[in-house]
């Protein structure tokens, strides 16, 4: 990416049926998926039959009955994928999993609010909005009218899987000075046909084989948005 992000991360979110109470730092340590050091320093927020949440090493783990999520803000991202693939590929292969989302998000600075506004106008011109668009152009700097959320989506289908890439651009709420842009790219994958006896293997296999490429593709999309800084500058 041509601009080094100020912040960012990767998350893997899976939809299916999970048993939150079985997951704990100690459980992951026993399976060899976390070190003794990581398990010992884990921050447990909650372990409950309906929701389990804890921080284990560089990973945040959130599990609900219908959803499993692991996220990290520390590269290398592949370690997150290895962690999820081993958890469900080796130790919980009969878990019914129907969908997976690989999310790459970044907050990056474009240097000034003026540049960010110009990028916003490139992405969503105000002219097609007529008088209201003119009002947005003329609104005072303090009020900050303009793009708050823009999402583009590209569906795909390949063999037994289908899904979409969905890229969302927003003003960053973290970078100071109103000069930051936030982008999240969601690479969604689901089974075309969900059999009643669905297990984890197909979705986990997809994740294992596509994670690096998914991150690369997402970063290409993010890089394209970053390139707009050069265009308006």
Q: How far apart are CA 127 and CA 138, in angstroms?
A: 12
Residue 229: in which H helix or E strand, if any? helix 201-232
Q: Which two tokens stand for residue 127?
A: 């002219």
Establish if 137 lies at the interface with another protein (CB under 8 A): no
Minimum CB separation of residue 77 from another protein in Å reads 8
Q: Which of 134, 151, 224, 227 binds another protein (CB under 8 A)?
A: 151
Residues 189-218 that bind another protein (CB under 8 A): 201, 204-205, 208, 212, 216
For another protein, the closer of residues 134 and 220 by Cβ is 220
For residue 88, the 8-state DSSP code is I
Q: How far apart are CA 100 and CA 204, in angstroms?
A: 8
Residues 156-175 that bind another protein (CB under 8 A): 168, 170-174
Residues 69-108 that bind another protein (CB under 8 A): 69, 71, 73-79, 82-83, 85-86, 89-90, 99-101, 103, 105-106
For another protein, the closer of residues 43 and 154 by Cβ is 43
Minimum CB separation of residue 158 from another protein in Å reads 16
Residues 17-46 that bind another protein (CB under 8 A): 32-33, 35, 37-38, 43, 45-46
Minimum CB separation of residue 181 from another protein in Å reads 11
Residues 50-69 that bind another protein (CB under 8 A): 50-51, 53-55, 58, 60, 62, 64-67, 69
For another protein, the closer of residues 36 and 230 by Cβ is 36
CB-hemisphere CA count at 13 Å for 230?
7
Minimum CB separation of residue 66 from another protein in Å reads 4
Tell me if 222 sits within 8 A of 185, measured CB to CB: yes
For another protein, the closer of residues 43 and 139 by Cβ is 43
| Strand ordering across the sheet containing 150-158 | 43-47, 51-56, 59-64, 67-72, 7-16, 97-109, 180-191, 161-171, 150-158
Q: Among candidates 71, 51, 48, which has minimal Cα distance to 61?
A: 71
Helix (H, G, I), strand (E, B) or coil at 153: strand
């Amino acid at each position: 990416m041509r601009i080094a992000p100020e912040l960012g991360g990767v998350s893997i979110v899976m939809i299916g049926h999970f048993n939150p109470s079985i997951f704990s730092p100690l459980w992951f340590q026993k399976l060899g998926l976390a070190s003794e050091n990581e398990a010992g320093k884990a921050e447990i927020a909650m372990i409950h039959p309906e929701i389990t949440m804890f921080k284990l090493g560089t990973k945040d783990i959130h599990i609900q009955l219908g959803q499993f999520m692991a996220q990290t803000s520390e590269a290398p991202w592949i370690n997150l994928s290895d962690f999820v693939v081993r958890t469900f590929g080796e130790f919980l292969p009969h878990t019914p999993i129907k969908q997976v989302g690989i999310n790459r998000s970044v907050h990056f600075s474009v240097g000034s609010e003026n540049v960010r506004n110009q990028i916003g106008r490139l992405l969503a011109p105000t002219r097609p909005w007529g008088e209201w668009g003119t009002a947005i152009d003329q609104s005072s700097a303090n009020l900050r009218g303009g793009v708050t959320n823009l999402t583009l989506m590209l569906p795909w289908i390949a063999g037994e899987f289908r899904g979409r890439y969905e890229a969302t651009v927003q003003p960053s709420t973290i970078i100071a000075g109103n000069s930051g842009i936030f982008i999240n790219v969601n690479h969604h994958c689901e089974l075309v046909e969900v059999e009643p006896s669905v297990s984890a293997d197909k979705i986990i296999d997809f994740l294992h084989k596509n994670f690096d490429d998914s991150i690369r593709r997402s970063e290409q999309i993010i890089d394209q948005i970053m390139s707009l800084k050069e265009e308006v500058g």
